[in-house]
Structure 1
Amino acid sequence: MKMFLLGAANPEAVRMILTLQRTAPHVQFAFLDNDPAKQGTLFHGVPVVGGTARVRELKGPDTRFVNLITGSTELRCRTTREIVEAGGTLGDFIHPGIDLTMVSHGVGTYLQEGVIMQAQVSLGDNSSISAGSVVGHEGRIGHSVFLAPGVCIAGCVDIGDGTFIGTNATILPRLRIGRWVTIGAGAVVTKDVPDYAVVAGNPARIIKTNPVSFQDGRVFS
């Protein structure tokens, strides 16, 4: 099995590779990155073999691709669509210490160490959750969503496609967060948030609106 990880930026990904190789030594890892300066180099000892333009060449029945881009959910969605449109098969990059009992998730999932997802949480395709974040029971996370480190989402919360939730943000129970929302670091969300809103503060308030780039975060047509 070969796994290509898009985005040679965070050394934590290399630490996850080393952890996974203890139990799955047959998996070969390499990075893709669309920055020409990184291509042909080593990222903490792991080769960067090119960008998304190489997917058609690298794809195969035993090859998987996972997008590690998290700084922009719009960029994450767009570049994963490029992989899929080039015929690449999405895989998952999940820390082995995470308990996924009674949890469902799509493909292209990137979960860092210390993530907790409680019973009956569902996670869409191409979504990423960073270290130490918690998603309460019966939560629904859409496609191409990103949770930064230390996010706390209470039970029965619905997170729309493409939403970006900043470090240490808190979302109270039974709320609906719309599509392509941005929630600022440390925000405390106490009521529903409409599509494309940018919210910040405690309690969180709308401070502006994101441009409408995508209607949803799906990566499969």
Structure 2
Amino acid sequence: MDNKVTLYGASGHGKVIIDILESMGVGIATVLDDNPNLKALLTYPISKPTEVDRVEDRNVIISIGNNKVRKALSQKMNCHFAQAIHPTATLSKHTRLGEGTVVMAGVIINPDTTIGAHCIINTGAIVEHDCMIGDFVHLSPNVSLAGNVQVMEGAHVGIGASVIQGVKIGKWATVGAGSVIIKDVPDYAVVVGNPGKIIKYNTTNE
């Protein structure tokens, strides 16, 4: 298997992943995207998925920010999913990290935390001890999670949000930017404000 990484998705998120991989000294094999108007991502040419060999023999990162799209694509692919961890991120040796997950610059993850598969732990996020982050979660830049927080599958925690210790964020929930979460958030709920309040529910069609 080629040690280089194939990115699936030519997005701004993909640009950040390229930068991380370059910082790690990992090569980029190709960038795949089915948008015919896209020709290159940074310095890397873009190929259509149909124009290259099957991904089964590749190291792949799904470089798409949408949690539902990452889940759908990952279930269709039979390949090895790589990780990308920026050299400036600080991860406890007692952290467990799932396949396909990316950890960006300045992140801090403390001991006995479990991060699921295909997660985005974005720039400057802080994840304290004993947290459990499910698959396909996105923690936006500068999110702060206190100890023993659970963030369930597919949830999106917006930029600068803070979550106190012991709180559970339900699956496919959305926490708005800058929100302060002091109690559990139900599955699919959209919560905003300080303290966070439910304003609606996301669709349950995953």
TM-score, with structure 2 as normaliser: 0.91
* Cα deviation, residue 28, structure 1: 3.7
* Cα deviation, residue 106, structure 1: 1.1
CA deviation string 1:162-209 (max 9, x = no partner): 001110011110011111000000010010011110100110000000
- Aligned-partner Cα distance in 1 for 2:141–2:201: 23
**Residue number in structure 1 paired with 2:150:** 158
* Cα deviation, residue 58, structure 1: 3.7
> Which one of the candidate residues 131, 139, 162 is aligned to 1:147?
139
**Residue number in structure 2 paired with 1:20:** 24
Task: Give the 5 Å matches for 1:20-169.
Answer: 20-21=24-25, 24=26, 27-38=27-38, 41-51=39-49, 53=50, 57-60=54-57, 63-70=58-65, 72-82=66-76, 84=77, 87-100=78-91, 101-169=93-161
- Aligned-partner Cα distance in 2 for 1:209–1:34: 31
Q: Is the 8 A contact 1:200 1:206 kept in 2?
A: yes
Change in Cα spacing, 1:54 to 1:141, as seen in structure 2 (3 Å) is farther
* Cα deviation, residue 79, structure 1: 2.0
* Ranges of 4+ aligned residues in structure 1 off by more than 4 Å: 53-56
- Aligned-partner Cα distance in 2 for 1:186–1:158: 18
Q: Is the 8 A contact 1:68 1:110 kept in 2?
A: no
**Residue number in structure 2 paired with 1:218:** none
Q: Is the 8 A contact 2:90 2:106 kept in 1?
A: no
Structure 2, gaps ≥5 residues long: none
* Cα deviation, residue 117, structure 1: 0.5
Q: Specify the code of the residue in structure 1 equivalent to 2:9.
A: G
- Aligned-partner Cα distance in 2 for 1:167–1:28: 28
**Residue number in structure 2 paired with 1:219:** none
SS in 1 for 2:5: strand
**Residue number in structure 2 paired with 1:195:** 187
* Cα deviation, residue 54, structure 1: 5.9
CA deviation string 1:126-153 (max 9, x = no partner): 1111100001100000000001111011
SS in 2 for 1:4: strand
Count of residues in Structure 1 that have an aligned counterpart in Structure 2? 201
CA deviation string 1:97-126 (max 9, x = no partner): 323311001101111111110111101111
Change in Cα spacing, 1:16 to 1:206, as seen in structure 2 (3 Å) is same
Q: Is the 8 A contact 2:103 2:120 kept in 1?
A: yes
- Aligned-partner Cα distance in 1 for 2:170–2:55: 36
- Aligned-partner Cα distance in 1 for 2:33–2:173: 26
Pairwise CA RMSD: 1.7
Structure 1, gaps ≥5 residues long: 215-221
Q: Is the 8 A contact 1:168 1:187 kept in 2?
A: yes
Query: Percentage identity across aligned positions?
Result: 31
Q: Specify the code of the residue in structure 1 equivalent to 2:188.
A: Y
- Aligned-partner Cα distance in 2 for 1:37–1:31: 14
- Aligned-partner Cα distance in 2 for 1:54–1:99: 38
